[in-house]
């Protein structure tokens, strides 16, 4: 069966912190998890940015399972649009792109944007002095 990948921001309350939720996603729903960013502190609300891969039905069941455990799951369906021809290759945006989607090719000193790695964190939108990044809601 064909698997799909979807990205979510998970916000979970402190009481969920010690539950093995990701273990259950893997074992019970055959979902592969790629954690792209994590801000989890003991006893505090945690936020995870992750990519889930599995068959559609299992992803839906896994998300329902998380929500039953009081985890808020927000799908990331937006995309970042980049007006590359106007880029002056200053490199500002590479400093904020923790996902590694924006990198400078130092052999020619040109910015490379890898859409596959972009997690739509929107940090580059403010970092670019020419406002070359915009959010595409379509």
**Residue ranges binding ligand SF4 (CB under 6 A):** 80, 87-93, 96-97, 99, 101-102, 111, 118-124, 127-128, 130, 132
Shortest separation between residue 112's beta carbon and ligand SF4, angstroms: 10
d(CA 119, CA 121): 6
Shortest separation between residue 52's beta carbon and ligand SF4, angstroms: 17
> Which one, 5 or 70, has the nearer CB to ligand SF4?
5
> Which one, 8 or 29, has the nearer CB to ligand SF4?
8
d(CA 40, CA 35): 12
Closest CA to 113 of 138, 137, 86: 86
Helices 56-68 and 21-29 cross at an angle (nearest 10°) of 150
102 three-class SS: strand
> Which one, 42 or 85, has the nearer CB to ligand SF4?
85
CA end-to-end span of the chain, whole Å?
28
> Which one, 13 or 75, has the nearer CB to ligand SF4?
75
37, 76 in Cβ contact below 8 A?
no
Shortest separation between residue 76's beta carbon and ligand SF4, angstroms: 10
Shortest separation between residue 136's beta carbon and ligand SF4, angstroms: 11
């Amino acid at each position: 069966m064909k698997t799909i990948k979807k990205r979510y921001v998970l916000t979970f309350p402190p009481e969920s912190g010690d539950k093995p939720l990701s273990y259950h996603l893997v074992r019970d729903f055959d979902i592969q998890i790629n954690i792209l960013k994590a801000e989890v502190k003991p006893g505090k609300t945690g936020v995870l940015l992750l990519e889930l891969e599995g068959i559609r039905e299992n992803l839906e069941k896994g998300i329902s399972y998380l929500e039953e455990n009081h985890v808020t799951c927000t799908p990331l369906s937006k995309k970042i649009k980049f007006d590359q021809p106007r880029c002056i290759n200053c490199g500002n945006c590479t400093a904020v792109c923790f996902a590694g989607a924006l990198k400078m090719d130092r052999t020619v000193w040109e910015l490379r944007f890898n859409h596959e790695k972009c997690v739509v964190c929107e940090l580059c939108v403010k970092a670019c002095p020419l406002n070359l990044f915009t959010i595409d809601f379509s």
